[in-house]
């Protein structure tokens, strides 16, 4: 009998060859399936809109056919990186306002959608209503329509278009400010900028106003502090000339005088004093009227004003009239002046300015008071 000797290396080599041959014979053959087509998922159909500085994830936002396609890796491209960039993971970064094309490629197929980068996302109104449907407006008066507008949804921000059926009766600005122009009636339409068929209508009747304006809500400012006396007989305040209360008075220390207690108020000689009436809105005025404190103290009245001026911002004033005399102010028995006319003007703020001595001084009175006082002040318009 012959004896055979095998070393361990030879045995292992033979076994590995046998095993490898067996594995190769049993391994499945993988067939590559090509991508036939790709399409955008619903959220990208019609494009995408995002705000400047924001990001969006567009990975796996395409449908791939056939479903068993083997190469499903996505690649992304932007036609204008200044507007928006997109990284290898499908994250879009919006850089500046504008429009660009974003392309998604899969397995040799590609598809593109439009990306719009905006400063704000527009939410269109689906309904517009007004809290009022009719309005009475006076000639030369204004009315802000914006606070009366209601939208559905509440966050709608596509803006409004305003039109007037009769601009010669009621004009309307692009900001919704109505102005009465002439007597008559006009329809004001408020429509969505995105869809003008979504609208509401306000009917405005314009009439000519005549007389004193209601003073509710009016306020007053003055050039100097208001004095107080120990007994406070005047009940001096900035609202006194507008409150309709004949027991109160608006009083200023006149130039060259010192008056009041704890502390007193002093106005240097030659210095100007003034007061400003805020009517809260622009309206036409062409007269004022003063009710003096009483029929016995004519020496504390205003006799004239160096200038009456108007403003719509409370800072920049334009002259309306100069050297305006308060009619019959020196006649003590006449407590209330007649209407004192000046050129018709449309302002919110009316300023009464005085510096010269004749505004406070009358030679017919031996005693000239330390203050000038008004019990009531009226502003109005006559046709």
Residue 154 class from Cβ within 10 Å (0-12 exposed, 13-18 middle, 19+ buried)? exposed
Write out the two tokens for 300: 């504390």
b/e string for 37-50 if b means 16 or more Cβ within 10 A? ebebeeebeeebeb
| Residue 358, φ and ψ in degrees, nearest 5 | -70, -10
pLDDT of residue 380: 96
Write out the two tokens for 124: 């269109």
- pTM summary value: 0.56
How far is 359 from 41, CA to CA, in rounded Å?
A: 81
> pLDDT tens digit string along 273-313?
999 999 998 888 999 999 999 999 899 999 999 999 999 99
Q: Which residues of the chain have pLDDT under 70?
A: 1-30, 262, 366-367
Handedness of CA 223, 225, 230, 234 (dihedral sign): positive
Place of tokens 């292992």: 12
Q: Give the three-state DSSP class for 229.
A: coil
- By the 8 A CB rule, do 338 and 203 touch? no
pLDDT of residue 11: 43
């Amino acid at each position: 009998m012959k004896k055979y000797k095998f070393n361990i290396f030879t045995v292992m080599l033979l076994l590995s060859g046998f095993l490898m041959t067996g594995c190769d014979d049993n391994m499945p053959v993988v067939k590559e399936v090509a991508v036939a087509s790709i399409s955008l998922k619903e959220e990208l159909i019609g494009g995408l809109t995002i705000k400047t500085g924001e990001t969006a994830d567009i990975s796996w936002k395409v449908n791939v056919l056939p479903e068993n396609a083997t190469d499903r890796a996505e690649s992304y491209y932007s036609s204008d990186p200044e507007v928006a960039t997109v990284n290898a993971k499908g994250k879009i970064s919006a850089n500046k306002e504008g429009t660009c094309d974003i392309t998604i490629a899969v397995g040799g197929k590609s598809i593109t959608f439009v990306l719009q980068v905006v400063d704000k996302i527009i939410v269109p109104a689906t309904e517009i209503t007004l809290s009022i449907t009719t309005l009475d407006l006076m000639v030369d008066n204004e009315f802000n329509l914006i606070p009366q507008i209601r939208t559905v949804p509440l966050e709608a921000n596509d803006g409004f278009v305003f039109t007037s059926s009769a601009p010669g009766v009621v004009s309307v600005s692009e900001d919704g400010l109505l102005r009465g122009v002439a007597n008559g009636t006009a329809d004001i339409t408020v429509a969505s900028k995105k869809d003008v068929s979504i609208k509401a209508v306000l009917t405005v009747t314009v009439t000519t106003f005549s007389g004193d304006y209601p003073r509710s809500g009016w306020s007053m400012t003055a050039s100097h502090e208001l004095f107080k006396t120990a007994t406070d007989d005047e009940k001096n305040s900035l609202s006194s000339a507008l409150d309709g209360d004949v027991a109160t008075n608006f009083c200023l220390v006149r130039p060259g005088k010192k008056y009041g207690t704890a502390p007193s108020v002093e106005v240097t000689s030659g210095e100007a004093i003034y007061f400003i009436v805020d009517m809260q809105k622009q309206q036409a005025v062409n007269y004022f009227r003063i009710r003096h404190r009483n029929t016995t103290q004519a020496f504390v009245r205003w006799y004239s004003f160096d200038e009456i001026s108007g403003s719509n911002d409370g800072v920049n004033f334009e002259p309306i009239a100069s050297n305006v005399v308060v009619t019959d102010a020196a006649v003590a028995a006449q407590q209330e002046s007649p209407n004192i006319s000046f050129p018709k003007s449309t302002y919110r703020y009316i300023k009464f300015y005085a510096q010269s001595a004749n505004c406070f001084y009358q030679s017919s009175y031996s005693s000239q008071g330390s203050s000038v006082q008004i019990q009531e002040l009226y502003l109005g318009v006559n046709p």
